[in-house]
Amino acid sequence: MTDDGARATTEPIAASNPGSKPGPTTGPKTESTGAPTPDPHGTFQQRRTARRISWGIPPRWVRRCVVAPLIVLAAFLWLPIAFWLLIIVAGVVSWAMPGGARILRVLFIAGVYLLWDAMALVWMWIMWVGSGFGWKIHEPVFERAHYRLAGRMLKSLFAAAKWTLRLTIDGSHVDLDGGAKGRPIIVVSRHAGPADSFIIVEGLINRFRRHPAIVLKDTLQWDPAVDTLLNRVPTRFVTPFRRRRAGSPGGTQAIASLAAGLGPEDALLIFPEGANATPKRRTKRIADLRAAGHHELADRAEAMPHVMPPHAGGVLAAMEACPEAAVVVVAHTGLEQLSTVHDIWRELPTDKTITFMGWFADQDEIPEGRDEREAWLYSWWERVDKWIDEHEPETEGGSSRAT
């Protein structure tokens, strides 16, 4: 028997044996050689491997100069979007959720304030360009434009704060135009709690169409928008005495210079207490009065638990520099428990009503002498203290907390 015959007889037996396994090629044999032809689609494993996606690695310069910068750019474009989406969600959730949700409320207000600051800076840059790159930025037309911008920005900021912190501001008892049409006014206000100056300025601009002039601490210039805007309108930033350079004007001089330039639409805002009223400051102020020999004024100050003894120098300087101005005394209540950061955090959401009250001082009752005018200012502060005692909201313990 030849080898070919043997091969012919054994191959069918192997093919029919159920326990045998096919070789790597199962295609039909070629007629010329008898060798098996490969499957045009390959084996199962080959077909599975072919379906896998294979990415070629780009050159190093592409990875370093193209891919890496694109990733960084995408991150910088996405992060602001994600941040503002988070801010919006925080605002909605904090408004809808009962209870505190303090972190969400703070996050929302911080985001709104950041956007508020940025928008104000952009608008002021546009006005700076429009004024001839600052050439006429202090002209009356641009001064009025900055007041309008301040009014709109403060209105939008308070709208967000009222919505998120559940604040109500009641100024229905204040009429700054009733007795001072066509005259400048000097607004002498109590100072207690955060943002009371912003609330008064917003009312002066938007409700009474006044142009406020303010004397403020120089540290407020850390805020870029406040710094830029207030340095373009009549404002004086005062440096505390311990950091003041020789020859620099103090608070009294700054107030007098502002008052001397008041026009019929202007309002000078003064806080005679000098800082937010706190028990520690009040105690020190009374001790300073006694140390200076003003025992009668110290006794009167001790009888006013809700306010601090007023510094009369600035108020009297303003009245002397602008004798035609009407004097308005403003009191408010609702912010007494928000003296520190801890107080603000504890009270969020505040759920408070801030109530304002204003009185016009009768020109005929204003005395002439300096000492007499200082006593007259204390009389007004006693009236403010009494009004606060009658209108201050009660604390959780059921009694109002004295300042």
pLDDT tens digits, 196-210? 888 899 999 999 999
CA distance 91 to 185: 39
pLDDT tens digits, 229-279? 999 999 888 777 677 777 666 778 889 999 999 999 999 999 999 888 888
CA angle 252, 257, 258 (to 5 degrees): 100
CA angle 398, 402, 403 (to 5 degrees): 145
CA distance 188 to 273: 10
State the DSSP code for 67: I
Q: Is the pLDDT of residue 70 over 90?
A: no
**pLDDT value at residue 25:** 45
> Domain spanning 166-391 has what CATH number?
3.40.1130.10
Percent of the chain with pLDDT over 70: 67
Token digits of residue 53: 């996606």
Phi/psi for 158 (5° steps) reads: -70, -30
Which range, 35-39, 67-71, 180-184, 324-328, has the best average confidence (pLDDT)? 324-328
Sign of CA dihedral 209, 215, 219, 222: positive
**pLDDT value at residue 239:** 76
**pLDDT value at residue 16:** 40
**pLDDT value at residue 10:** 40
Domain ranges within the chain, ordered by starting residue: 166-391
Which residue's entry shows tokens 């000078």?
Answer: 268
Confidence grade of residue 87 (pLDDT, cut at 50, 70, 90): low
Nearest to 269 by CA among 289, 244, 251, 286: 251
